[in-house]
Amino acid sequence: MPTASTTSPRSAKTGAKAARKPSSARSRSATRAKTTAVRQAGTTTGETGGVFGDYAERAVLIPVGAALIARDRVVSSVNDTISTYSSPSKTQAQLRRFERRGATARNRLEREVRKARVRVERELRQRRRKVEKTVSDLGERRDTVAKNGNDLANRVQERILNLV
């Protein structure tokens, strides 16, 4: 930390003036210089107190800053809303935008539903054809098995009759 003897005469005067002024009238640089000096002094003499002080300061400043940012966002949102609906013509224009957006969403949904219905109907037709073909094949196999069974029964009956 520089001492008063190593500083220029001008900065020494500024520091002396800043020391005589009330704290509300100090310049930003003087306030920063004093804060830095206090922090440096605190870290050399009582490291723990400085660290706890920093944590306490942060614990207070963080929620305050967050609340201020939230307030700014709310104010901005309200101002945007007020400017959007400030006159009947602007309100009508906004309502037309909403209507167009709603119509677009409805049309898109209807298109998707139609596509889904067509896809389901196509799959149903394909499955129906496959099932009908399988049933037809099973009917033909049944008829073939029945015919072969009758032929076999007739041959067995003929052999039995030939043996008797």
CB 73 within 8 A of CB 81: no
CA 13 centroid distance within chain: 57
Q: What is the pLDDT of residues 97-106, one digit of tens each?
A: 999 999 999 9
Q: In whole angstroms, what is the distance from residue 96 CA to residue 98 CA?
A: 5
Q: In whole angstroms, what is the distance from residue 57 CA to residue 66 CA?
A: 14
Q: In whole angstroms, what is the distance from residue 116 CA to residue 112 CA?
A: 6
Cα–Cα separations (whole angstroms), residue 114 to 25, 98, 122, 134? 74, 24, 12, 30
Q: What pLDDT is stored for residue 2 in this prediction?
A: 45
Q: What is the pLDDT of residues 130-141, one digit of tens each?
A: 999 999 999 999
Q: In whole angstroms, what is the distance from residue 17 CA to residue 26 CA?
A: 9
53: confidence class by pLDDT, cuts 50, 70, 90: confident
For residue 43 the two structure tokens come to: 């870290």
18: confidence class by pLDDT, cuts 50, 70, 90: very low
Q: What percent of the chain has pLDDT over 90?
A: 57
Choose the weakest-confidence range: 38-47, 94-103, 113-122: 38-47
Can you give the residue ranges of every domain in the chain?
1-56
